[in-house]
């Protein structure tokens, strides 16, 4: 029952096969009597560097028998002809086997630990028999795409006869080339016979751009009859043994293609071959790039025709065989020299994952986190823009040591924060031209080079700042940055930009922002205040947000510092001078009028004496009299109004003092002014206790409330009128003065300056 349950679980949850990080050559071929060198890769961790390495041979039942190990063990069959060398710095170990025999052919494993652990890689070794040892056949080996020269000796008897080379088939030997000028179509423009002279008893057959199909048995012949000289030729065409390349996931690898000076000027290509299929071009020197490698591949030409290709941000699907070649059309074609690599991508990587795509709106900003090897903390760091039209060339835009491309000034900054394996790049004021691929590069470990794609999309920047600001020299300046509610919990900052970074500045929180209507309670305004602007304050200023060590969006504003122009300032003062002089003169007239009530009457007499018929004062400038009259006509009504106001205020205050001395007895009111009595005798001589109610009220001012009372006050015999309050009397007096001032001003306007 338990077995049935286990079988059901395995059917539902298939067994997960973990890919081994150990990597080596899949196939190795050689010839008897020769030697091979097999290199195996492993992740260079501290544990793996010191773990046992081994080379074992697989048996019929899957058991793997150890033949040699890094701990010193060597099997009897390998004694004296094999060794294993560990290279912990590069994470590799090499197995060398010499004096190979046909019995060495088979399936092997190179691995770490014990053979049953699973940390290993399968290797197939095939050892073939040397045909030259079995017969009188001459063996020629040549690399694919190269040139081979076959030497054919002959006797003097056949020195004048036809020389030829034919290739054997199952039933016949078809002609390849001969001394009469014939060349087979399969070898056209590639094969020819070279005869050095009649005294030389050797002719040579030269075959260029050897193809895989050229491999086989040939017959080199001088003469056509039974006495012809014949030699058997075995031509072996060798495909390049792939060089092993080990790369971690998200890391970078480099392929250096060196095909020789004979093809230095021929277009180069790099193609990828998967599952035994065709080799698809990844990049070539004619500008072609595969879509899967857009933005993360670059080709760099070097000296002596070397063609270097760098691939960043490795993916699992990048693993496989790569072939570099030279061909006029930049495409793989049989008969041209090639070089091969086998790339293994280790999924157990130390490189942290980072976004492969960042998006920003027009006018907004983006922030990119760039990883680097923490051991390279002091190395220079760069940010470059990948250019598709230039074979993936990546010119630097900014570097940590201060280099800045001119058109990015004020927009781009590289910050070493947060550190410990990551630096930050911020680009703002985005335009459509900024879209594309960018690389993070350091002078240290090139395997940590990474790629990010920048996309510019529709939308509005989140942060609101003025575009350009003009500040005046020596005056204060305030810059405000509006943050929406989504950044409520973020740290806000202002900084001044330079090509070495952005220096933080003290800021002020001005509370909620009115720029965002969706959530005013959480939106904020953060301001930068400069008390006294100097010329050094000119430049770019950024406001932005941070969440812990990570930087967010930014906005930039340029501040231009200028000085106030003295000429325009003097003109403004000149315009304001007449008005100021008039006000000052009016104040002087008002003060004189308050001190001398007959001031206006005297001034009127002076103006009448200085009328049109009066002689001109030689000491006065022309036009002075007319302007003075106009000034007086304007200021007289104003002065009267002011005088009336002062008098009214005086009346109110006098009434207030009198009210203090009044005494009310029951329903009767008696107004007693202590100033009405000169001495105490007068006060005692007047006994009003028996007087009638009508005689008990004494009028102090008579009809004129503002007249000064005398010692012998006479009681008014007119019928008694209702007593007005002091406030009503003051209001009436003030109204009377205002009406008089208004009438006088109207008369002045009608009669002109002279009459005034």
In terms of Cα–Cα distance, which of 127, 129, 91, 128 is closest to 110?
91
Q: What's the helix, strand, coil split of the chain in %, to 5?
A: 25, 35, 40
CB atoms within 10 A of CB 651: 19
Task: Please say whether the dihedral angle defined by the alpha carbons of residues 399, 402, 408 and 410, taken in this order, is positive or negative.
Answer: positive
User: Quick count: other Cβ atoms within 10 Å of Cβ 256?
Assistant: 15
- In degrees, rounded to 5, the angle at the alpha carbon of residue 457 between the alpha carbons of residues 452 and 462 is 100
On whether the CB atoms of residues 165 and 174 are closer than 8 A, the answer is no
- d(CA 644, CA 446) in angstroms, rounded, equals 93
Strand order from edge to edge, sheet including 120-128: 27-31, 120-128, 106-112, 53-58, 64-69
The three-point CA angle 128-131-134 to 5° equals: 115
Residues in the chain: 756
The alpha-helical segments, DSSP class H, found in 596-660 are 599-609, 624-660
Q: How far apart are CA 178 and CA 221, in angstroms?
A: 9
- Over the chain (756 residues), the average pLDDT of each successive run of 10 is 44 45 90 92 89 92 90 94 93 95 94 84 89 72 93 91 93 93 94 85 94 94 90 91 90 93 92 88 93 93 88 94 95 93 90 93 96 92 90 89 91 91 96 96 92 96 92 93 90 93 84 49 79 94 93 96 67 42 41 43 44 40 42 58 66 54 37 38 38 36 35 38 51 57 51 40
The pLDDT value given to residue 746 = 52
Are the CB atoms for 160 and 145 separated by under 8 Å? Answer: no
* Residue 303 in tokens: 């000296």
The C-alpha atoms of residue 409 and residue 431 are separated, in whole angstroms, by 14
Element housing 729 (H / E): helix 726-755
Q: DSSP assignment of 154-193, as one string? A: --GGGTTS-EEEEEE-SS-EEEEEETTS-B-GGGTTTEEE
How large is the angle between the packed helices 566-595 and 624-660, nearest 10 degrees? 50
Please count the other Cβ atoms lying within 10 Å of the Cβ belonging to residue 335. Answer: 17
With b for 16 or more beta-carbon neighbours within 10 A and e for fewer, the 318-329 pattern comes to: bbebbbbbbbee
Query: Which pLDDT value is given to residue 638?
Result: 65
414 close to 427: Cβ distance less than 8 angstroms: no
> Is beta strand 663-665 parallel, antiparallel or unpaired with respect to 297-301?
unpaired
Say if residues 356 and 452 touch (Cβ distance below 8 Å).
yes
Q: Taking Cα atoms as reference points, which of 23, 50, 30, 21 lies closest to residue 96?
A: 30
Which tokens belong to 93?
């170990």
Nearest residue to 218 via CA among 206, 230, 229:
230
User: Would the pTM count as exceeding 0.85?
Assistant: no
For residue 418, cis peptide bond before it (omega within 30 degrees of 0): yes
């Amino acid at each position: 029952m338990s077995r049935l349950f286990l079988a059901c679980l395995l059917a539902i949850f298939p067994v997960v096969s973990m890919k081994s990080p150990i990597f080596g050559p899949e196939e190795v071929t050689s010839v008897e009597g020769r030697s091979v060198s097999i290199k195996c890769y492993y992740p260079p961790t501290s544990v793996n560097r010191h773990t046992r390495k081994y080379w074992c041979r697989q048996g019929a039942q899957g058991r793997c028998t150890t033949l040699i190990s890094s701990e010193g063990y060597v099997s009897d069959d390998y004694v004296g002809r094999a060794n294993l060398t560990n290279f912990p710095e590069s994470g590799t170990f090499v197995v060398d086997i010499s004096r190979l025999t046909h019995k060495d052919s088979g399936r092997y494993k190179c691995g770490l630990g014990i053979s049953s652990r699973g940390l290993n890689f399968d290797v197939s070794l095939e050892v073939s028999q040397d045909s030259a040892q079995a017969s009188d056949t001459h063996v020629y080996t040549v690399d694919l795409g190269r040139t081979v020269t076959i030497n054919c000796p002959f006797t003097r008897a056949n020195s004048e006869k036809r020389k030829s080379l034919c290739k054997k088939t199952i039933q016949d030997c078809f002609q390849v080339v001969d001394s009469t000028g014939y060349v087979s179509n399969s070898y056209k423009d590639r094969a020819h016979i070279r005869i050095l002279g009649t005294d030389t008893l050797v002719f040579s057959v030269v075959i260029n751009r050897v193809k895989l199909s050229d491999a086989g048995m040939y017959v080199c012949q001088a003469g056509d009859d039974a006495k012809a000289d014949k030699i058997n030729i075995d031509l072996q065409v060798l495909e390049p043994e792939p060089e092993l390349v080990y790369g971690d996931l998200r890391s970078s690898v480099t392929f250096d293609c060196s095909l020789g000076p004979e093809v230095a000027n021929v277009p180069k290509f790099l193609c990828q071959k998967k599952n035994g299929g065709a080799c698809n071009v990844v990049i070539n020197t004619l500008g072609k790039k595969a879509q899967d490698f857009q933005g993360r591949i670059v080709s760099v030409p070097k000296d002596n025709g070397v063609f270097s290709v760098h691939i960043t941000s490795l993916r699992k699907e990048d693993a496989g065989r790569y072939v570099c070649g030279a061909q006029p059309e930049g495409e793989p074609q049989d008969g041209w020299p090639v070089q091969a690599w086998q790339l293994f991508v280790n999924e157990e990587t130390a490189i942290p994952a980072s976004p492969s795509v960042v998006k920003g709106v027009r006018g907004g900003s983006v922030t990119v986190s760039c990883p680097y090897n923490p051991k390279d903390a002091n190395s220079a760091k760069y940010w470059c823009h990948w250019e598709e039209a230039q074979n993936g060339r990546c010119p630097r835009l900014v570097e940590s040591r201060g280099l800045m491309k001119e058109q990015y000034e004020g927009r781009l900054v590289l910050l070493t924060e947060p550190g410990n394996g990551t630096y930050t790049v911020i680009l703002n004021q985005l335009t459509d031209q900024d879209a594309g691929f960018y690389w993070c590069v350091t002078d240290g470990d090139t395997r940590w080079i990474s790629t990010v794609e920048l996309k510019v999309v529709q939308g509005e920047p989140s942060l609101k700042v003025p575009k350009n600001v003009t500040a005046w020299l020596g005056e204060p300046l305030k810059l405000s940055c509006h943050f929406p509610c989504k950044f409520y919990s973020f740290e806000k900052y202002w900084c001044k930009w330079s090509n070495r970074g952005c220096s933080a500045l003290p800021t002020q929180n001005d509370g909620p922002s009115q720029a965002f209507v969706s959530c005013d309670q959480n939106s904020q305004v953060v301001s930068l205040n400069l008390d006294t602007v100097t010329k050094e304050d000119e430049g770019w200023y950024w406001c932005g947000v941070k969440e812990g060590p990570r930087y967010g969006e930014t906005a930039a504003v340029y501040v231009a510092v200028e000085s106030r122009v003295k000429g325009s300032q003097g003109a403004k003062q000149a315009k304001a001078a007449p008005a100021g002089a008039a006000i000052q003169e009016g104040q002087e007239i008002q003060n004189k009028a308050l001190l001398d009530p007959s001031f206006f009457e005297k001034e009127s007499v002076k103006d009448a004496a200085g009328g049109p018929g009066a002689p001109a004062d030689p000491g006065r400038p022309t036009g002075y009299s007319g302007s003075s009259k106009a000034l007086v006509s304007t200021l007289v009504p104003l002065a009267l109004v002011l005088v009336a106001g002062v008098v009214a205020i005086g009346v109110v205050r006098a009434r207030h003092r009198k009210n203090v001395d009044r005494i009310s007895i029951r329903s009767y009111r008696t107004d007693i002014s202590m100033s009405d009595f000169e001495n105490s005798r007068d006060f005692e001589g007047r006994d009003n206790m028996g007087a009638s109610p009508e005689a008990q009220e004494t009028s102090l001012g008579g009809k004129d409330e503002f007249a000064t009372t005398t010692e012998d006050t006479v009681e008014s015999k007119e019928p008694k009128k209702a007593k007005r309050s002091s406030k009503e009397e003051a209001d009436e007096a003030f109204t009377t003065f205002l009406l008089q001032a208004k009438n006088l001003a109207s008369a002045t306007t009608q009669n002109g300056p002279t009459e005034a």
